[in-house]
Structure 1
Amino acid sequence: MTTPEQRSVKRSVRAGLVVFAMIAAAVFITFKAQTGVPFAATTTVRAAIADVHSLKVNDEVREHSKRIGRVAAIDYADGVAMVTMQLDGEVGVYRDAHAEIWDVSALATKFVELDRGGPEAGLLGDQPIEATRNVGSADLYQLLDVLDTPTRDAATRLVRELGGGVAGHARDLQDVLAVAPDLVQDLGVVSDALASEQARLPELLRGADRLAGRLQGRQQEISSLLAQTDQTLQAVNVDGGKPLGDTLDRLPSTLDSVRQALDTVRTPLSDTAVAMRSLEFGASALAQSENDLRAVLVDGVPVVNKIPGVAGLANPAIEELTHTASDARPLAPQVTRALSDLVTPLQVLAPYAPEMGQLFVRGQSFVSQGPTPGTRYARLGLAPGLATATGGLLSSGNFAQNQYPKPGEASYDRAQGLPPGIPLGGN
């Protein structure tokens, strides 16, 4: 008969065995999970591949980049790697199947990309996929082998210097990565702007190419210019940049003074612009008459030489004219008043200017030359009307008279008779 203590010990032993079995099963499943689902059906395929590089056992086997199995083993014989692949489940692999070694990333992690072929080619069976149908791995160093030695050396220096520059700037790199999404978005906007037709990026690149071509061979001049620029900047930075800071502090007031000065100059400049536009036609005419002007200046030299003598002879007359002008100065107000008084009668006579001109023309006809040369005769014809002789008591009948014609009516009366509204024999 077992005691309670013995039963408790047995229960503890059984519980310990169960826990141990569960731990062992979990460990087994964990390790087995690397090779697929435990106790699940699999399909084994072999492929001869010339170069697998860093491909390892348990690396993935994919089809169209989707995992379908793992690499179970890698054996080497006669310089060729025999890769044994274990596919999940019972799947068909056909004679036209082929395998390629692809990269997961630039860190040399590999996987097998398997194309199982088509049923029309028939099942592959236990035969391996021939090496001629497969594509080996291409590592990064092989890509770099395409570059020549100077280029590889320059790339090596670039990577080394980049690593040295990044070292110690982990926090800065984190900040950059934190704002990277915004930077990428801004980069997209900039890319769209550069790709637009308004940006004319091809022309910009061609212009940059022409500029680079023109700068070719002038490296020494550019180096000298940069050295001079460095000296200039060092001079600007003298005394810790204090003189420059003082100048910048005074710059706003100076700019205000300059603005006021420019506002003051604006009106004279506008007048100057108007004057220059007015002079434009004269300058054009002067340019067109350049040859004539040159001839006048050449031919005028003898005349200019005579000017001093003529001026000397004219001095007495000019002095007398000066005295005359001085003596005539008191008459200037009377002449001004006389001209002012003439304004009214001249305004009255102005409409009759054509008739006054005709008076002088007809006066010449009045004293026209006769049949004998040197002898002139005056012709005067009088035709008084009855109204004139009787003082207007009696009408002249059909004899038209207009004693006070308006401007322009005298010629009309002579050619056509009285204008409408003027009675026969008088006004």
Structure 2
Amino acid sequence: MKAVRKHCVIGVALSTAALGLFSAAAIAQQPGISDDVVRIGVLTDMSGTFSDFAGKGAVEAVKMAVEDFGGNVNGKPIEVIAADHQNKADIAASTAREWIDQKHVDMLADNSGSATALATIKIANDKKRIAIVTGAGTTRITNEDCTPYSLHYNHDTASLANVAGKYIVKQGGDTWFFLTADYSFGYSLQSDTSAVITANGGKVVGSVKHPFNASDFSSFMVQAQGSHAKIIGLANAGSDTINAIKSAREFGLLGAGKQQLAGLLVLITDVHALGLNTAQGLYITEGWYWDLNDETRKWSARFYKRMGKMPSAIQAADYSSTLHYLEAIKATGTDDSATVIKKMEETPVNDMYTKNGVIRKDGLLVHDMYLMQVKTPAESKKPWDYYNVREVVPGNEAYPSIAKGSCTFAKQ
């Protein structure tokens, strides 16, 4: 009997030891910081049509977030690298692949330009790495091309359409003609805005497509003028928008009793390049503005010292999204993409960029949007004082619900 008892005690001891070894192994296998470094790759337009509102300023905004976070997370260093995708989808894809495979990049930031962003998020999904899009607008990012590893910050064409289309029609701008960039972003923006205009009792009387990075808008302006639409909707971005607005002024389309422009994606850097004499009266939709409150002004003053200009909404979103990403790593103790994304979705975004912003399952950050109107030179009281806020549109009104989208895994 004693022998049997001794055997049982030994068996229990062995089982306890085995359980302890199993627990230790399980702890050891939990993901931490891969290769002891968190690497962020800023893939942006350094030299083309989007370079002013993204570009080097996007890189600097990401670096500011890393510095404000302390330069390390959970004792591991944070590294930032950057590259110019030249607005070419193949370069964006190959750079993303090289960064992930050879440089072990954990997160791809900015991703300006819709075509390049779509190429990047596909690679990131294949490699199970996070891609945060701040500098592209197509709704495909959170609809048919959505992935579990991609997030969409700042704006999309649906929010731009809901703000501009709905509120401008309410103010009497009920007939529209579109000047549309001939690529996916332009198509999405025209389509989304047209639907909102029609739903709110307005009418689209015509449209014309122009090539990407166009230099001569004269023939397009003749068509816009001939439409007699109250509003000329600019479904384009960057230098295309700037050149279109200049052309509209030269053709005398704008002014008292004439047509008005609605810049569906105009950023403060565009207004600065144009000057208030040219841009005054322009309706625009923004996700953020440097002069909204004391917090935005304080951060923007820091950015200005580094860059010599005020930040765009996209650059502010680069800062916010990077900070939110690093906070999620700190909270979870890992840079494992699925774990970090889950934590980012669970945690509201509260910083100088937005308050109580929510990242949905489809990767979209839902936050307040703004309908602005560019000031006249007489209204502007200081440098970069460019906007009057006409409407603050709550995020749940600016962005369509997940139920209306086509992101399959988000509805499961």
TM over 0.5: no
Larger fraction in helix: 1
Q: Which has the higher contact order (CA 8 A, sep 6+)?
A: 2
TM range (shorter): under 0.3
Rg: which structure is higher? 1
**Of Structure 1 and Structure 2, which has the larger fraction of its residues in strand?**
2
TM-score (norm 2): 0.18
